[in-house]
Amino acid sequence: MKRLGIILSYNSLSGCGIIKDKNGQKIRFHNEDNRIVYNRFEVVQFCIGMVNNRLVAQEIIKIPDSEGKTMSLGNLYS
């Protein structure tokens, strides 16, 4: 089952980041595709998996807005 969340932080050098889901839970993720860059406050959909006995976000998909651009909560405040 897919969850909805926002990117809290992302380090493009290490490919690691944190997503906050709608329940307020912070979930780490690792991006192995350096062509994909995540930005703070982007809205994403993801699955939960286990790696080394820890919950991680996997299969992360950016959610587009009505214009096809990546939806971001940061746009609400700019």
What's the rounded Cα separation, in Å, for the pair 14 and 4?
23
In a domain, 21, yes or no: yes
In a domain, 77, yes or no: no
What's the rounded Cα separation, in Å, for the pair 53 and 76?
36
Number of domains forming the structure of the chain? 1
Task: Give residue-wise pLDDT tens across range 10-51.
Answer: 999 999 999 999 999 999 999 999 899 999 999 999 999 999
CATH of the domain at 52: 2.40.50.140
Parent domain of 12: 3-70
In a domain, 75, yes or no: no
In a domain, 33, yes or no: yes
pLDDT at 73: 82
In a domain, 17, yes or no: yes
- Count Cβ neighbours within 10 Å for each residue of 45-76 and write b for 16 or more, e otherwise: ebeeeeeeeeebbeebebeeeeeeeebbeeee
In a domain, 78, yes or no: no
